[in-house]
Amino acid sequence: MSDLNLVRPLVGTARRIAAIVLLFGANQGWSGGITVDSLEADLNLRLSSELYSKLAPLLKKYRRAKGHKAVSVLFNDNGDFAAGVSAEAPSEVAAALLASQQCNAYRDKFEFPGQCEVMLLNTIVIPLGASLRREIDKAGPSLVWRVEGTQGTVYLAGTLHIMKPTLYPLPDVFDLVFSKATQIALEANVLLSSKPSRVDVIRSLASGEPVAMRSSMHKSLRKALHTYVKQQGGDIDAVYQVKPAFLALQISQLNFAALGFTSAFGIEHHFAQRAVQANKSILELEHFSKSLEVLINVPLAVQNKMLASTLSQRDQAMSNIHKLITLWMSGDVDRLHSLLQDTFAGDVDLELIGQELLDKRNANMLASIESYLAADETTFVMVGAAHLGGENGLLALLAQKGVAVTRLLNNGQDGLPMTALPVNPRVSL
């Protein structure tokens, strides 16, 4: 979905890139109060005096930078430190990419082990992968279940579609399950997303007639959209060439990409690549365009509600992804389900979309899982974590079928078997 008219101008070259820990130009406006002390508090870090002295002048110059800007850093157990800084970038995504490129170049030059990650985007502080991974209880409940059928075994995992490299390695249970599997199954094969025939299908579904798209939007929505596109250096005419729901998806993807979270590092992508290397088959639980069809087939008025909601909640992107990852790390399946449900709550039209995206697709994916259980195979099934919980989630549907379902712990050992439907399928956040 990244082959889009809106995306191209957003990832163009910046007018000016500040190199690694180099001075920014003079006469630049003050933009915030981020200091090393505030970063240590926000990121739950305790830096050495050496790192403190390196970061202090960098942040002093960063505070004075104009436009879209970012800082990407690398910390490792050896005490190595690399940083990249961008300023006056044409968009948030470009700022993050440019800072990461600078950091990666420094890392490669000195052969530091580890991964760079965006720590600051404008005035947003982004939690580091290492601190997020501390949420994992190695002996705690995972989001992986073993399901035993008449012939086959399915390991059903709730995943995150977007991740960043510093969130790896995953809990041990994922590698253990993958090693046992003879094949894997995904909602859609992410490695085929750039296949020309699939791109054509997505483009056809997403394309909208510009006059109709523009006229379907209230002037307040058009104003908010124009403001966003201008801020991100995009082409306003291009945004009316796709349907509002697809545009909402694009904007969400760009929001998360600017924070360092992309599908390229998602769990499905990670294991799909490993499956190819291990010569394991990759199956699809449903047609690759199904989730998009659900959104595209609703009336334009409802799609515009989605777009308006996406634009109004842009500032919450970091808190939302932080909450999502924290819940995933803790294995809280019901709250993950509720987190997605709550994005549609309060509006009847949006709630119906939520039902289509989860409940109806769950019923279809269940049929695929049942076919795997009837075959003499061990299948590692990965679905978005929100598909597991709730009274119409895959776990409840499997329990209704009477199959044996056992939750695994993060260390790969068996937890408790699932013997009943969830008592409280909707949990308030």
Residue 397, domain member (yes or no): yes
Q: Of 198-207, 302-311, 354-363, which gets the smallest average pLDDT?
A: 354-363
Tens digit of each residue's pLDDT (9 = 90 or more) over 326-342: 999 999 998 888 887 77
3-state secondary structure 138-192: CCCEEEEEEEECCCCEEEEEEECCCECHHHCCCCHHHHHHHHHCCEEEECCCHHH
Last residue of a domain, one of 73, 99, 125: 125
Q: Please check whether residues 162 and 192 belong to one and the same domain.
A: yes
Residue 340, domain member (yes or no): yes
- Residue 131 pLDDT > 50, yes or no? yes
Q: Report how far apart the first and last C-alpha atoms of the chain are (Å, whole number).
A: 30
Amino acid at 383: V
- From residue 31, alpha-carbon distances to 34, 87, 104 in Å are 9, 12, 26
Q: Please check whether residues 257 and 329 belong to one and the same domain.
A: yes
Q: Please check whether residues 105 and 195 belong to one and the same domain.
A: no
Q: Please check whether residues 149 and 113 belong to one and the same domain.
A: no
315: which residues sit within 8 A by CB, 6+ positions away? none
Q: Please check whether residues 297 and 395 belong to one and the same domain.
A: yes
Last residue of a domain, one of 125, 160, 180: 125
Q: Please check whether residues 101 and 167 belong to one and the same domain.
A: no
Tens digit of each residue's pLDDT (9 = 90 or more) over 76-104: 989 899 999 999 999 999 999 999 999 99
Q: pLDDT over 70 for what percent of the chain?
A: 90
Q: Please check whether residues 303 and 411 belong to one and the same domain.
A: yes
Q: Please check whether residues 68 and 197 belong to one and the same domain.
A: no
Cis link prior to 171 (omega < 30° from 0)?
Answer: no
Q: Pick the residue with more confidence: 22 or 360?
A: 360
Q: Please check whether residues 197 and 77 belong to one and the same domain.
A: no
Strands 183-186 and 141-148: unpaired
Q: 310 pLDDT band (50/70/90 cuts)? A: very high
Tens digit of each residue's pLDDT (9 = 90 or more) over 162-218: 999 999 999 999 999 999 999 999 999 999 999 999 999 999 999 999 999 999 999
CB atoms within 10 A of CB 100: 22
Give percent helix, percent strand, percent coil of the chain, each to the nearest 5. 50, 15, 35
Provide the total of helices (H) and of strands (E) in the chain, helices listed first.
Answer: 19, 11
Residue 167, domain member (yes or no): yes
Residue 352, domain member (yes or no): yes
Residue 356, domain member (yes or no): yes
In terms of phi and psi (left: phi > 0; alpha: psi -120 to 50; beta: otherwise), the region of 353 is alpha
CB atoms within 10 A of CB 15: 12
Q: pLDDT over 90 for what percent of the chain?
A: 69
- If one counts the domains in the chain, the total is 2
Confidence (pLDDT) at 348: 84
Domain that holds residue 100: 7-125
Residue 266, domain member (yes or no): yes
Tell me how far apart the alpha carbons of residues 265 and 20 are, in angstroms, rounded to a whole number. Answer: 24
Amino acid at 108: D
Residue 325, domain member (yes or no): yes
- Residue 422 pLDDT > 80, yes or no? no
Last residue of a domain, one of 125, 153, 180: 125
Q: Please check whether residues 105 and 169 belong to one and the same domain.
A: no
Residue 222, domain member (yes or no): no
Mean pLDDT, rounded, for 221-228: 96
Q: Please check whether residues 151 and 83 belong to one and the same domain.
A: no
CB 330 within 8 A of CB 135: yes
Q: Please check whether residues 340 and 402 belong to one and the same domain.
A: yes
- Residue 363 pLDDT > 60, yes or no? yes
pTM for the complete prediction?
0.87
